[in-house]
Structure 1
Amino acid sequence: MPIFAAAVAPTRAELIDHLVRTRIAGDVATPRENNLSHYRKLANGDRHYWLGLELGDRWADEQDVLAVMAERCGVVDDPDHRSGQDTIDPEMTVGALDRAAAELRKAAEGQRRVLFATGHPGALLDMHGALARALRVAGCEIVRVPLGTYADEGVIVQFGGVATYERGASLWHTHSPEPMTQTLNALQLAGEALPELVVADHGWAGCAGQRGIDTVGFADCNDPALFLGEAEDTLEVTVPLDDHVADPRFYEPMTAYLLTAAGLTGATGLA
């Protein structure tokens, strides 16, 4: 059975086992065909797949994109593997979590101004919320989005300090960078300082990194842009994971591991 106990962080080996069993990593649900299609569209200049980054023509070769995804996410590196199962290397996931923890620790030590946001509210909202609570207790200022910030015919709302996109009284899954663009613009218009660190996913993360803000991103194997951003040092860290598995509670052990690695267990009551 998967681990659900958020109060105790798993060991590295236990977390890797959990990631594989829940398919957050290992043999993931996203098929190879979908991955390659997204890599091709990014390479062909489809900005929907750039996630707010400005990639120019630097990644116009699909094989270069695949090479980075194999190196940083753990997808199959064989260009002749065109269909069927694809993978995320759980060792790479945990390695990236360790690097993300270092960024959270640095934010806590400096009591930095941090913005959390998600384009995957159905899966990652609780994870981002737990991180936001821990950093708030550690003395960080968690950025509040100015009221009435609109984007893409919807509005930016926050739950537990996490910004997300609402439209038609529902929280939406979105890849668009526009919510982050409008959030940062609204902060500037209100005379408020921009965040010193953004922890986010999808276009929220890509846009923040492109604006020069230190950014920790979370990304699936069919969302190559954030991994390219990390390769170009536009993002500090991109954590590879399936970003929408069956139950949001499956991310709880990963969250506990991340908080413990960041030295934030005292802020959350983790033992």
Structure 2
Amino acid sequence: MPIFATGAAPTRSELIDHLVRTRIAGDVATPRENNLSHYRKLANGDRHYWLGLELGDRWADEQDVLAVMAERCGVVDDPDFRTGQDTIDPELTVGALDRAAAELRKAAEGGQRVLFATGHPGALLDMHGALASALHSAGCDIVRVPLGTYADDGVIVQFGGVAAYERGASLWHTHSPKPMREVLDGLVRTEQPLPDLVVADHGWAGCAAQRGIPAVGFADCNDPALFLGEAEDTLSVAVPLDDHVVDPRFYEPMTAYLLEAAGLSGFNGDVTA
């Protein structure tokens, strides 16, 4: 399974082939049953699936959720398709990457203050870290989380400028919006400015967007909330992808494409400098 040389940006068609080959898009691992279960729970008001957004009763019809997911993520739009293989449209993934690149380019041109965070440290930490490094080298201020920021019985830590949730000396996968809420509240308490842009996933992205901060969020086809947030113009960009494939190196070509599209491929550096 070929991987592009580190830092080499694929063309659009090459990236689409890679996304399908590695199942970041195309026929993804998440089954239809799981997708529909999450759409139903969100529609029924289970806030765990709202990812920090305030959706009210606007999405109380599961079929409305499915329609948005078909449009923005590329899942099968047939409501009678209940079991089997579901999909993410790689064209939609790359289109969203282009929109995300525009947000990164704007941040770089304006020297913005940017916060990176991930609820998927086992898969997306390196991607977020590469973006943070490039923006730092381009002149952005990468937000540092106030020391002693706690949430959900754990602590918020940072690696290469990327915030993540740690508990019991291990990094954890989390959908919770509470870590981002505590980070933002901590910045206010310590009289630091809030970010101009958040690049994240799960509840990290949803919470920031709900607070009115422009946010780019990466989301799987079983995490509909961020796509609903984008549909309502609360979230700036929702990028559809399988957010935990078997090897995090599979995201390297996508990261290189994103940096190239943002005009950041020539930048690198230490975000803690």
**TM-score interval, normalised by the smaller of the two chains:** over 0.9
Q: CA deviation at 1:268?
A: 3.3
Q: Deviating runs (4+, > 6 A) in structure 1?
A: none
Q: Retained in 2: the 8 A contact 1:2–1:250?
A: no
- Residue in 2 aligned with 1:160? 160
Q: What CA distance in whole angstroms lies between the structure 1 residues aligned with 2:6 and 2:188?
A: 37
Letter in 2 for 1:143: V
The question of 1:78 aligning with 2:78 is answered yes
Q: What CA distance in whole angstroms lies between the structure 2 residues aligned with 1:23 and 1:2?
A: 13
CA deviation profile, 1:72-127 (whole Å, cap 9, x unmatched) = 00000000000000000000000000000000000000000000000000000000
SS at match of 1:266: coil
The question of 1:32 aligning with 2:50 is answered no
Q: What CA distance in whole angstroms lies between the structure 1 residues aligned with 2:34 and 2:219?
A: 15
Q: What CA distance in whole angstroms lies between the structure 2 residues aligned with 1:234 and 1:214?
A: 8
The question of 1:195 aligning with 2:201 is answered no
Which consecutive residues of structure 1, in runs of 5 or more, have no partner in the other structure?
none
SS at match of 2:216: strand
- Residue in 1 aligned with 2:182? 182
Q: Retained in 1: the 8 A contact 2:132–2:161?
A: yes
Letter in 1 for 2:248: P
- CA RMSD, 1 decimal: 0.8
Q: CA deviation at 1:54?
A: 0.1
Which consecutive residues of structure 2, in runs of 5 or more, have no partner in the other structure?
none
Q: CA deviation at 1:243?
A: 0.1
Q: Percent identity?
A: 86
Q: CA deviation at 1:4?
A: 3.7
Q: Normalising by structure 1, what TM-score?
A: 0.98
- Residue in 2 aligned with 1:253? 253
Q: What CA distance in whole angstroms lies between the structure 2 residues aligned with 1:218 and 1:114?
A: 16
SS at match of 1:164: strand
Q: Retained in 2: the 8 A contact 1:4–1:249?
A: no
- Residue in 2 aligned with 1:219? 219
Q: What CA distance in whole angstroms lies between the structure 1 residues aligned with 2:103 and 2:7?
A: 22
SS at match of 1:29: strand
Q: What CA distance in whole angstroms lies between the structure 1 residues aligned with 2:80 and 2:173?
A: 32
The question of 1:143 aligning with 2:143 is answered yes
Q: CA deviation at 1:185?
A: 0.3
Q: CA deviation at 1:6?
A: 2.1
SS at match of 1:30: strand
Letter in 1 for 2:32: R
Q: What CA distance in whole angstroms lies between the structure 2 residues aligned with 1:223 and 1:7?
A: 29
- Residue in 1 aligned with 2:170? 170
SS at match of 2:158: strand
Q: What CA distance in whole angstroms lies between the structure 2 residues aligned with 1:232 and 1:241?
A: 20
Letter in 1 for 2:244: H
- Residue in 1 aligned with 2:49? 49
Letter in 1 for 2:122: G
Q: What CA distance in whole angstroms lies between the structure 2 residues aligned with 1:180 and 1:134?
A: 22
Q: Retained in 1: the 8 A contact 2:9–2:256?
A: yes
Size of the aligned set, in residue pairs, is 269
SS at match of 2:5: coil
Q: What CA distance in whole angstroms lies between the structure 1 residues aligned with 2:4 and 2:150?
A: 36
Q: Retained in 2: the 8 A contact 1:113–1:141?
A: yes
- Residue in 2 aligned with 1:13? 13
The question of 1:129 aligning with 2:149 is answered no
Q: What CA distance in whole angstroms lies between the structure 2 residues aligned with 1:257 and 1:218?
A: 15
Q: CA deviation at 1:265?
A: 1.1
- Residue in 2 aligned with 1:208? 208
Q: What CA distance in whole angstroms lies between the structure 2 residues aligned with 1:42 and 1:63?
A: 11
- Residue in 1 aligned with 2:236? 236
Letter in 1 for 2:229: G
